Every structure is written in C-alpha cells, then in structure tokens.
Amino acid sequence: MEFSNRLKELPVQFFATLVEKVTKAYAEGRDVINLGQGNPDQPTPPNIVQALQEAAADPNSHKYSPFRGTAELKRAAADFYKREYNVDLDPEAEVAVLFGTKIGLVELPLALMNEGDMLLLPDPGYPDYLSGVKLANVRHEVMPLLRENAFLPDYDKLTPKQLEEAKLLYLNYPNNPTGAIASKEFFEETAQLGKEHGIGIVHDIAYGAIGFDGKKPVSFLEVEGAKDIGIELYTLSKTYNMAGWRVGFAVGNAKMIEAINLLQDHLFVSLFPAVQHAAAVALTAEQSSVEELVELYEGRRNALIAACKRIGWEVEAPSGSFFAWLPVPSGYTSEQFADLLLEKADVAVAAGNGFGTYGEGYIRIGLLVDEARLEEAVERIEKLKLFS
C-alpha cells in the first residue's frame, strides 16, 4: 500500500530532524545543552492541574464533549479577550475550540481555500504553516521578514498580482523565530490591506503573553474592524505551560470561525471535557503565574544577550516570545554553524534556514533552560574562538 500523493508531498518535519540529531548526541553520553527546542520547561501552574484532577474525577467529564467545545471554555476565551485586550467576542459565533493552535493553522487552508488558491506566508516562519499548504494543495508565496524592517513584512513589496490572488495572509507576533513584536499601527495597516484586497488575515498569537521591557504584545483584534477581515489563534501552551495538553482557540470573524467549526465537526468531537474545564480555569483565574513566567524569560534573555556580547557576538535582544534570533558568524551557513555547535560545543540550536529562505544567516535559541545553562552554552561557544 503506497502513501497518497498528498502525504508524499508533505515537507520534511524540521523539528523531527533536529530532535533526531540531539537524541543521537545524548545516546553517545554527551552533555548537550539543548537550545533548539520550543518546549516550555516550566510546569503547568498547580491551580490548573488541580482543576483537571477534579474534573477528571467527575463522571460527567467522561462523556463526549459537545462537538464545538464546551460553553464554559468558549465563554472563558471571550472573557479572557475582554480582560486582556478589551475585545468583545460572541462565545458561540466568534470562538472555535482547537486541539492546540497547530491544528487550526494547518486546517485553515482546507476550510477556507480551494486547490490552487494562494496563501501569503511570512519567511522566516513556523515550518508547519507549509503543512497546511500541502494538505490543501494550495499555492503559497512568501513575505520576507528582514532585520532592516524590524522583521515585519513590507506590504509595499507585494506585487499587484499577489494582492489580487491572495486568499489568506498569515502573521505571527511576537514572532517565532525572530522574537520581534508588532505595533498597533502595523496591524491597522494589515487590516486595511485585507479589506482593500479581500484577503483574510490569520494572526498566530502563540506568544501573546510574552513581551519584554514592559511592553505588552498587541492583539490584531484590538484594531478597529479587524473582525471584519480576520481571526486570531491563541494557545495555552506558552502562556500557561500547557504544551502537552493540546488546547487553544481561534477567535474573530464569524464566517472564518464557522468554517473551522464545520471542518472540525467532521474530524473531531472536541477535547476531553476535563481539559476544557482546566483551560477555562487557566484563562479566568488570577494571572500572577503568567507575570512570573514573563519575568523568568526576561531574566534568561538578559543573561543570554549579556553573555553573547561579552564574547564579541553582536546580537540584538528579542522584544518578545521565548526565542532569540542570533546572526551566524561569517564563513558559515546557518546549518553549518548549527552542526558545528552541536559537534564541537555540545550546544544544540535551530538552524535559521529551517524556518525559510530568509532565515539563512541566523540561528534560533530557545530561552528554555536556566540562566546558568545559557551562560555555560555561550562559554562553550567562546572556546571555538569564532568571535573577536
């Protein structure tokens, strides 16, 4: 039995390849400092775990969930957006429950595009955006994210043909992998572009809680009229250290939300009700754990950037997310430099070209080990004498 052509055409899973290299090094008994991962290293806050435990013991949780998720979780998502962003949402019409936002991002082209339609994607960007392209058999073109434009797409560089043919446009701020954040003015420009050219806007706000230097990241839906043209996908993985729980939601334009819900009616019977209850508790309880988490990441960022500058590595501090986007020294490609660090320094990083053509020349480092290990990683790199 052969795989379908659709499966054969899927891109190689970038992170799976990275994990394979690191696993091999671990198997050889090496003390690898793994900075290539995107998996939060802190535990889920105790109040959320307790909510799950109590709900899992309730026999009412053992039944099928409503197809489109529990009213409790959808109401909690709407209340969260009102509290955090002053955005009003109809829980039934403008919220879709997701098995993690990766599911939503990959299934959106299936729900909203026809074969051959065109999707605009950021480059560099989250590699799994391309999975949705291949599964839906649509076309994509890239919007370069360049340092000179603060890692924001320059809409003036889009051609009339691209603007005419694009059906959807994906964005992600705070950004993976660059750590850049977007301003309200940029999102206003984005909403105007979408309205003028009939392009649906999809904002992946996976790192929405993580902004540094006292700056809270902006939601696309804060912009007037954003719901007329787009949606936003929010995951609990990063804000509440719930990566393994696989729970998130999409909010915004009612027609786009209905498309997600309709597709999922045929794929899932929503999440385990106990997980949905715990997610609702996470969204609506007091948020001190989130504030502490942001402080933790900011401390790690500061330690990393200071260590890099100490060895002569000229880097810029990320403004948000839990990633740092660092330039590769001259004479190396991203992949060559990443391989060198793993082989000679036992430091694992993600090569920038894994995130797209315009990721070449960079590596991505996760702020997902403690400050001492980050500093030790830079000390190991210093011994390679690559920086003056």
Q: Which residues pair with 230 in a beta bridge?
A: 201
pLDDT by residue for the chain (388 residues), tens only, comes to 999 988 888 887 777 778 888 889 889 999 999 999 889 999 999 999 999 999 999 999 999 999 999 999 999 999 999 999 999 999 999 999 999 999 999 999 999 999 999 999 999 999 999 999 999 999 999 999 999 999 999 999 999 999 999 999 999 999 999 999 999 999 999 999 999 999 999 999 999 999 999 999 999 999 999 999 999 999 999 999 999 999 999 999 999 999 999 999 999 999 999 999 999 999 999 999 999 999 999 999 999 999 999 999 999 999 999 999 999 999 999 999 999 999 999 999 999 999 999 999 999 999 999 999 999 999 999 999 998 6
Sequence spans of domains, the chain: 5-44+288-382, 65-282
- In three-state secondary structure terms, 354 is helix
Q: Taking phi first (over 0 means left), then psi (-120 to 50 degrees means alpha), and beta for anything else, what does residue 19 get?
A: alpha
Q: Using N-to-C axis directions, what is the helix angle for 254-265 and 101-112, rounded to 10°?
A: 100
Q: Are 98 and 328 in contact (CB under 8 A)?
A: no
Q: CATH class for domain 5-44+288-382?
A: alpha beta
End-to-end Cα separation, the chain, in angstroms = 56
Rounded CA gap, 57 and 34, in Å? Answer: 37
CATH architecture type of domain 65-282? 3-Layer(aba) Sandwich (3.40)
- 10 Å CB burial of residue 332 (0-12, 13-18, 19+) is middle
Q: Are 362 and 352 in contact (CB under 8 A)?
A: yes
What pLDDT shows up at residue 132? Answer: 95
